[in-house]
Amino acid sequence: MNQVIKAADLKAAGVPAYVIDLKCRPGGPWQRILPGVVLLSANPPTRAQRLQAALAYAGPGAVVTGVDALNAHGLAALPPPPRIHLLQPAATRRSCPDNVLLERTTRPPGVVHHSGLRLAEPTRATLDAARHEPNPLRQHHLLATAVRSGLCTVTALTKELNAGSKRGTAIPRTTLHLLSALLR
């Protein structure tokens, strides 16, 4: 059990709001890990619990993307970033807590369900991670690792890059061009 639940679901199950507030006080058995999301444990949340909480907070149309999605797809060589990266439909307007990056999109990715998580398909997750990586060397490493692992192809990454937003794509474009030349 991941022990992550929305406060609204607790109330719908008959738990009064004052009980939730009481149990979420400092030193209590529960904690609020995002607005409206409760962890039914006093222990620090695991990364998996943080991912579940971020999805619960963002709503039903949200999907995990970036490095966390790549890790779930089996690319464990990449360390998780400080913020969980989610894509949400463009019509959704949620505020963004400090430890979650909510990015609105008019091009929802293909969704893969894994361990109770809604994940962006690997090609989209790779490019989302690369676009938000400020270090060009780490961007190159991320793209090369995804291609070497067989999770993505240069052709699929280039096609996705051309179809999506142009923001933050200069270095990934250059890297993909270089990888394409190296693989010929």
pLDDT tens digits along 125-176? 999 999 999 888 999 999 999 999 999 999 999 999 998 888 888 888 888 9
Percent of the chain, pLDDT > 90?
A: 75
Residues 33-60 pLDDT 10s = 999 999 999 999 999 999 999 999 999 8
Q: What is the pTM of this model?
A: 0.90
Task: Tell me how long the chain is.
Answer: 184
First to last CA, the chain: 47
Secondary structure element (H or E) that encloses residue 180, with its range: helix 170-183
Nearest to 128 by CA among 179, 77, 63: 63
Specify burial of residue 13 (Cβ count, 10 A radius: 0-12, 13-18, 19+): exposed
Alpha helices, H only, 45-88: 47-58, 66-72
Q: What are phi and psi of 6, to 5 degrees?
A: -75, 140
64-87 mean pLDDT: 93
Average pLDDT over residues 120-128: 96
- Average confidence score pLDDT of the chain: 92
Rounded CA separation 46/123 (Å): 26
Q: What is the pLDDT of residue 85?
A: 97
